[in-house]
Structure 1
């Protein structure tokens, strides 16, 4: 399956996504949401220092038209200023990758779904996936959110854009409350190729994310993340500040 470059341009696609994020109708949140909850939906802005440059995150909750559901767009620009800051071996300071996610949550049963789009400008490769997430009953200080989904890999070449492989995704978001303002997260994910070009098998496998978060006040937190696994080269680290509007 191939796409013509003139009609499928990732940069333009993400600009369109950004535009929808800006013009989407605002959700009327009457109370501050729990920022440690992986299924929480709220309008937010964040910035972080990472081992690959600066990340910027923008999220906007919007009105779904149904009282029992909530939804939001989240756009992340990654790797800004990596060369200037000396944190990356990339040859420029522009955005090296972009991630867009759309969350939709049913508040009556704790079930959500997620569209996740990623594009790496330096490598010319990306992926798109759709997954279902279910919040399980809390066990003391621990709460788990298992997920499962399907996705496609998108690759850029001289002849255009292609979809060389498909994959399955299973994983979990995990949260442990230490105090009212401190929590831990562990989010293991596993992807496996379902079909397509066998040359992409090394792109899949286990990926791990661990984080510690501190809620400075109900609208403002700081978090530190570590990412490692078969889909990473070494270990990525980032510190992120987030604010809920």
Structure 2
């Protein structure tokens, strides 16, 4: 089952003051946990990606939230350079992020669907901002998820017709920001996922043919203006290598 671990988070202690300010104030886009309405687009080795983020009213004066919707891998055969790419949309991702400004704690609902493999997952995680250590800040998280797919192969080798839920999984990791200058920053976001329950086929081979996987994400970013930046991302796992992972350049604009 293809696992997409593309990384974003919320909740930085440095963001809490900005969240309480007026909505029209420009937010710090170098903060991986800032909440703001945004548009983004990128070119990848698998085609074009598009992103839209919209803040929402949580009904509480102490919390903020944001919905983010992503379309990935469009025009992959024409513009990408992977052998198995096609011009159809490769995958979709939806995230709902919510944060409590009083304690640096937040939550994230994350839904992914891969059209090529007709498989996806839902997960729910809790995130906690830790105090900044010089130029470095960590945002550890932990959560649980459910995998689903169409025509999944069962333990007896027969295909289960239609959509089914082969099992559940757990995940732990951290989002990391490293500040280089006021316009340049790096991120390293390792995530470890492991199967917890379900069919034998899933619990033993649910992540790239294994029962668990350590996924890596590295990003380098440059802020052109307070509202506009460019970011380079690389994603790979312990079962592959850096070169064969996913690479993309993404442009983001804060509305």
Q: TM-score, normalised by structure 2?
A: 0.82
Contact 2:44/2:80 (<8 A) preserved:
no
Shift of 1:235: 1.4
Q: Which consecutive unaligned segments of at least 5 residues does structure 2 have? A: 1-20, 152-159
Equivalent residue pairs, number: 219
Higher relative contact order (CA 8 A, sep 6+): 2
Contact 2:46/2:85 (<8 A) preserved:
no
Report the equivalent of 1:23. Answer: none
1:78-133, Cα deviation, whole Å (9 max, x unpaired): 00000111423346311110000000011111111000000000101101100000
CA 1:132/1:116 → structure 2, altered by over 3 Å: closer, same or farther? same
Report the equivalent of 2:168. Answer: 166
Q: Distance in 2 between matches of 1:86 and 1:148?
A: 33
| Misfit runs of 4+, over 6 Å | none
The reply to whether residue 153 of structure 1 matches residue 147 of structure 2 is yes
Which of 91, 94, 115 is residue 88 of structure 2 equivalent to?
A: 94
Q: Distance in 1 between matches of 2:81 and 2:54?
A: 29
Q: Distance in 2 between matches of 1:148 and 1:191?
A: 10
The reply to whether residue 176 of structure 1 matches residue 152 of structure 2 is no
Q: Distance in 2 between matches of 1:55 and 1:82?
A: 10
The reply to whether residue 240 of structure 1 matches residue 254 of structure 2 is no
Structure 2 counterpart SS, 1:205: strand
CA 1:101/1:232 → structure 2, altered by over 3 Å: closer, same or farther? farther
Q: Distance in 2 between matches of 1:108 and 1:231?
A: 40
Compare 153-162 and 118-127 and name the one that shifted more. 153-162
Structure 2 counterpart SS, 1:83: helix
Shift of 1:174: 0.2
Structure 1 counterpart SS, 2:78: helix
1:160-208, Cα deviation, whole Å (9 max, x unpaired): 1111010000000000000001000000000011011232333131000
Which of 106, 119, 138 is residue 132 of structure 2 equivalent to?
A: 138
Q: TM-score, normalised by structure 1?
A: 0.85
